[in-house]
Structure 1
Amino acid sequence: MINKQIILGVLTAFVFASCSNDEKVVFINADEDGGPVNPNPVTQTLKEKAKFKIGAAVKMKDLQGEVSYKNAVLKHYNQISAEFEMKMASIWTSSTASNYTAADYLVNFAKDNNMEVHGHTLVWYNSFPDWFKNAKYDSITYEAKVKVYITDVVTRYKGKVKSWDVVNEVFADGGALRDENVIKPVFKDPIGFYGRCFRYARAADPDAKLFYNDYSVVIDAGKRAAIKKMVTRFKANGVPIDGVGDQFHYATDTNRQTMKTGFTDLASTGLLIHISELDIKVNTAKSDTYVFNDVENQKQAETYKYITTMYEELPQNQKFAITTWGVTDKYTWLTSFWHSKEYPLLLDADYNKKPAYQGFLDGLK
Structure 2
Amino acid sequence: MTALVCTALGAVLLPGAAQAADPPLRDLAAAKGVYIGNAVAGGKLSGNAQYAALAGGQFNSLTPENAMKWGSVEATRGSFNWAEADQIVAFAQAHNQQVRGHTLVWHSQNPSWLTNGGFGATELRGILQQHIATEVGRYQGKIYAWDVLNELFNEDGTFRSSPWYGTLGAGFVADSLTWAHQADPAAKLYINDYNVEGLGTKSDALYNLVRSLKAQGAPIDGVGFQAHFVLGQVPSTLQANLQRFADLGVDVAVTELDVRMQTPATEAKLAQQATDYGTVVKACLAVARCKGVTGWDISDADSWVPDVFSGYGAATLYDQNYQPKPAVRAVVTALGGTVSPSNSPSPTASSSVSPSPGPTATATPTTTATSSPPGGTGCTAVYAVPNQWNTGFSGSVTVSCPTGASLSSWHLDWNFTAGQQLTQAWSGVCSQSGAHVSCANAAWNGAVGPGGSVTLGFNGTWSGGNPAPAVALS
- TM-score > 0.5 by shorter chain: yes
Aligned partner of 2:270 among 297, 314, 322: 297
Aligned residue in 2 for 1:27: none
CA positional deviation for 1:362: 1.4
TM-score, normalised via structure 1 length: 0.82
Mapping 1:281-292, distance limit 5 Å: 281-283=260-262, 290-292=263-265
Q: Judging changes above 3 Å, is the alpha-carbon distance between structure 1 residues 104 and 42 closer, same or farther for their aligned structure 2 residues?
A: closer
CA positional deviation for 1:339: 3.0
Aligned residue in 2 for 1:22: none
Mapping 1:133-172, distance limit 5 Å: 133-172=115-154
Aligned residue in 1 for 2:246: 267
Aligned residue in 1 for 2:202: 223
CA positional deviation for 1:44: 2.5
1:237 aligns with 2:216: yes
Aligned residue in 2 for 1:354: 325
CA positional deviation for 1:264: 3.6
Mapping 1:1-365, distance limit 5 Å: 43-50=22-29, 51-178=33-160, 180-187=161-168, 189-190=169-170, 192-219=171-198, 221-254=200-233, 256-283=235-262, 290-315=263-288, 318-365=289-336
Please tell me whether the aligned partners of residues 80 and 117 of structure 1 are also in contact (alpha carbons under 8 angstroms): yes
Residue identity in the other structure for 1:280: V
The Cα offsets for residues 136-165 of structure 1, whole Å up to 9 and x where unpaired, read as: 111111011110111111111001112100
CA positional deviation for 1:255: 5.1
Q: Which structure has greater strand proportion?
A: 2
Measure, in 1, the Cα distance between the counterparts of 2:316 and 2:184.
33
Please tell me whether the aligned partners of residues 101 and 146 of structure 2 are also in contact (alpha carbons under 8 angstroms): yes
- Which deviates further from its counterpart, 214-223 or 306-315? 214-223
Please tell me whether the aligned partners of residues 56 and 92 of structure 2 are also in contact (alpha carbons under 8 angstroms): no
CA positional deviation for 1:98: 1.0
CA positional deviation for 1:335: 1.1
Percent identity between matched residues is: 29
- Which deviates further from its counterpart, 268-277 or 240-249? 268-277
Q: What secondary structure does 1:146 align onto?
A: helix
Please tell me whether the aligned partners of residues 239 and 286 of structure 2 are also in contact (alpha carbons under 8 angstroms): no
Please tell me whether the aligned partners of residues 334 and 340 of structure 1 are also in contact (alpha carbons under 8 angstroms): no
Q: Judging changes above 3 Å, is the alpha-carbon distance between structure 1 residues 41 and 231 closer, same or farther for their aligned structure 2 residues?
A: farther
Measure, in 1, the Cα distance between the counterparts of 2:222 and 2:234.
24
Measure, in 2, the Cα distance between the counterparts of 1:339 and 1:63.
27
Please tell me whether the aligned partners of residues 144 and 187 of structure 2 are also in contact (alpha carbons under 8 angstroms): yes
CA positional deviation for 1:70: 0.5
CA positional deviation for 1:261: 4.1
Q: What's the C-alpha RMSD, in Å, of the aligned pairs?
A: 1.7
Q: What secondary structure does 1:56 align onto?
A: strand
CA positional deviation for 1:305: 1.0
Q: What secondary structure does 1:183 align onto?
A: helix
Residue identity in the other structure for 1:244: V
CA positional deviation for 1:220: 5.5
Measure, in 2, the Cα distance between the counterparts of 1:41 and 1:114.
24
Please tell me whether the aligned partners of residues 174 and 221 of structure 1 are also in contact (alpha carbons under 8 angstroms): no
The Cα offsets for residues 260-302 of structure 1, whole Å up to 9 and x where unpaired, read as: 443343333331111000001122xxxxxx4312111111111
Please tell me whether the aligned partners of residues 174 and 220 of structure 1 are also in contact (alpha carbons under 8 angstroms): no
Whichever of the two has the greater Rg, that structure is: 2
Measure, in 2, the Cα distance between the counterparts of 1:211 and 1:255.
22
Measure, in 2, the Cα distance between the counterparts of 1:60 and 1:292.
28
TM-score, normalised via structure 2 length: 0.64
Measure, in 2, the Cα distance between the counterparts of 1:221 and 1:135.
36
Please tell me whether the aligned partners of residues 173 and 220 of structure 1 are also in contact (alpha carbons under 8 angstroms): no
Measure, in 2, the Cα distance between the counterparts of 1:118 and 1:353.
24
Q: Judging changes above 3 Å, is the alpha-carbon distance between structure 1 residues 41 and 250 closer, same or farther for their aligned structure 2 residues?
A: farther
- Which deviates further from its counterpart, 80-89 or 125-134? 125-134
CA positional deviation for 1:340: 5.0
Measure, in 1, the Cα distance between the counterparts of 2:123 and 2:235.
46
Q: Which has the higher contact order (CA 8 A, sep 6+)?
A: 1
Measure, in 1, the Cα distance between the counterparts of 2:166 and 2:83.
32
Please tell me whether the aligned partners of residues 166 and 197 of structure 1 are also in contact (alpha carbons under 8 angstroms): yes
Measure, in 2, the Cα distance between the counterparts of 1:136 and 1:244.
31
Q: Which consecutive unaligned segments of at least 5 residues does structure 1 have?
A: 1-39, 284-289
Measure, in 2, the Cα distance between the counterparts of 1:309 and 1:181.
35
Q: What secondary structure does 2:163 align onto?
A: coil
Aligned residues: 315
Please tell me whether the aligned partners of residues 158 and 205 of structure 1 are also in contact (alpha carbons under 8 angstroms): yes
The Cα offsets for residues 15-65 of structure 1, whole Å up to 9 and x where unpaired, read as: xxxxxxxxxxxxxxxxxxxxxxxxx99723211101211111000111121
Measure, in 2, the Cα distance between the counterparts of 1:298 and 1:82.
29
Q: Which structure has greater helix proportion?
A: 1
Measure, in 2, the Cα distance between the counterparts of 1:244 and 1:82.
18
Measure, in 1, the Cα distance between the counterparts of 2:127 and 2:163.
14
Please tell me whether the aligned partners of residues 85 and 102 of structure 1 are also in contact (alpha carbons under 8 angstroms): yes
Q: Judging changes above 3 Å, is the alpha-carbon distance between structure 1 residues 212 and 181 closer, same or farther for their aligned structure 2 residues?
A: closer
- Which deviates further from its counterpart, 300-309 or 42-51? 42-51
Please tell me whether the aligned partners of residues 53 and 79 of structure 1 are also in contact (alpha carbons under 8 angstroms): yes
Measure, in 2, the Cα distance between the counterparts of 1:77 and 1:330.
18
Please tell me whether the aligned partners of residues 41 and 358 of structure 1 are also in contact (alpha carbons under 8 angstroms): no
